[in-house]
Each structure stands twice: as C-alpha cells, then as structure tokens.
Amino acid sequence: MRKIIGSLTTMLAIVAIASPASATAAATTSTLTGTVGPGFTISMSKKSVKAGTYAITIHDLASIHDFHLTGPGVDKKTSVSGKGTTKWNVKLKKGTYRFVCDPHRTIMHGVLTVT
C-alpha cells in the first residue's frame, strides 16, 4: 500500500510541476494568420486580440500585392514582387493596427484592434 501511495504522490507532483510550465509557455505567444491574394483580397485571421506577443504568419499569394502591417511599434511588410510565407514575431500593444496592400490600398485594407 505504501508503494502505491508513494507512486501516486510522485506522479501527482510531476503533473503539478509540469502543468503550470506548459500553460505559461502556451500563453506567452499567440498566433495570427494574414493572407493577401491571389485575387484582390487581404485578411487577418482575427479582428480583435488582447495585447501580447504574437507569431504572425503571412501567406502572400500574389506577386502584385504586399501585406503591410502598421500600428503602435509595428511596421512590417512583405515585398510586392515576392510570393510565399513570411513569419513575424511581434509585440502588439493596445491600439489600432492597419493592414494594407500598398499598391491597392484603397480597395485592399483591414483593421486589427488590440485591447
């Protein structure tokens, strides 16, 4: 009986130690996805997020567009002539972030609100 109680105590201690570390690691970086093209479309996976550190993946699907994200402390963009996937790690602060295709900014634009 003592062996079973000792084993259970050890297992519970391991779970208690591992769980907070895993939860903290998952909470520190969130993800967003942006897409531009292939037609005259530009989008972000969410319209509103909480302030924090984000891994943003941009899918640039057309060589006539770029994805340009600007806001408090952020000014990132892909190239107009390039296509492919780009990854950015950014710290988003409370405020309004705008994303546009620079050559077609009047018709290809959006807003990300950070609270």
The string of pLDDT tens digits covering residues 49-93 is: 999 999 999 999 999 999 999 999 999 999 999 899 999 999 999
Residue pair 26/20 in contact (Cβ under 8 Å)? The answer is: no
| Residue 79 one-letter amino acid | S
What per-residue confidence (pLDDT) applies to 3? 56
Residue pair 32/71 in contact (Cβ under 8 Å)? The answer is: no
73 phi-psi bin (left φ>0, alpha ψ -120 to 50, beta other): left
Instruction: Burial-class residue 91 by CB neighbours within 10 Å (0-12, 13-18, 19+).
Output: exposed
Condensed to tens digits (0 to 9), the pLDDT of residues 14-37 reads: 444 444 544 444 456 799 999 999
Q: Which comes out higher in pLDDT, residue 12 or 89? A: 89
